[in-house]
Amino acid sequence: MVDPVPISRTGYNKLKEELNRLEKEELPEVRKTVAAAREDGDLKENAAYTYGRQRQGFIVGRIGELKGILSRADVIDCTKVKCDRAVFGTIVSLLDLDTEEKVTYQLLGSDEADFSTGSISVDSPVGRSILGHAVGDKISVKIPRGDRHLEVMDITRSEVE
């Protein structure tokens, strides 16, 4: 049996929307493009056909990947997680003890984490190190460029599922 993978309701809905768009819009469109290009004749010299087949293969592969992710998903409501410790879905504010810089991350799954929006994967080195810690705990994290020394300053829950 496959282990369930935690995902936020927002992340689940986003992946579900992508799956629907790929299945209902993009795949039928690319199939039409490939069929039209096939009618043009010589397939060896037909760039539209070659590109269309490659794009179709990518879309079919992504559909399979999304179905796998969604079938293993354990949907977590991030607005209801406990905030006494850093767990999946919590928003954790940290103080870098070496630079005095404050950083804030939401702990999410690897399929939805996006550093540019302030979320990191619970499977990342920093995410794994933060899990289970409470406010006031000091953490040492091994990352490729050296050790980071952090202190948990605050733990809150998301206002968005």
**pLDDT on residue 161:** 67
**pLDDT on residue 37:** 85
**pLDDT on residue 113:** 92
Cα separation, 81 vs 91, whole angstroms: 10
pLDDT at 144 over 90: no
CATH for the stretch 5-76: 1.10.287.180
CA distances from 119 to 18, 34, 70, 109 (A): 20, 39, 20, 9
Residues of the chain with CATH 3.10.50.30: 91-156
At 112, is the pLDDT very low, low, confident or very high (cuts 50, 70, 90)?
very high
Q: What pLDDT, in 10s, does the model give residues 19-72?
A: 999 999 999 999 999 998 888 776 667 788 889 999 999 999 999 999 999 999
Which residues lie below 8 Å from residue 67, measured CB to CB, with a gap of 6+? 19
Range 114-143 average pLDDT: 94
Prediction pTM value? 0.83
At 1, is the pLDDT very low, low, confident or very high (cuts 50, 70, 90)?
low
Q: What is residue 72's three-state secondary structure?
A: helix
Closest CA to 100 of 45, 58, 48, 151: 151
Which residues lie below 8 Å from residue 125, measured CB to CB, with a gap of 6+? 141, 142, 143
**pLDDT on residue 48:** 84
Range 108-122 average pLDDT: 92
Max CA pair span of the chain = 69
- What is the token pair recorded at 118? 């302030």
Residues of the chain with CATH 1.10.287.180: 5-76
- Fold observed for domain 91-156: Chitinase A; domain 3 (3.10.50)
pLDDT at 127 over 90: yes
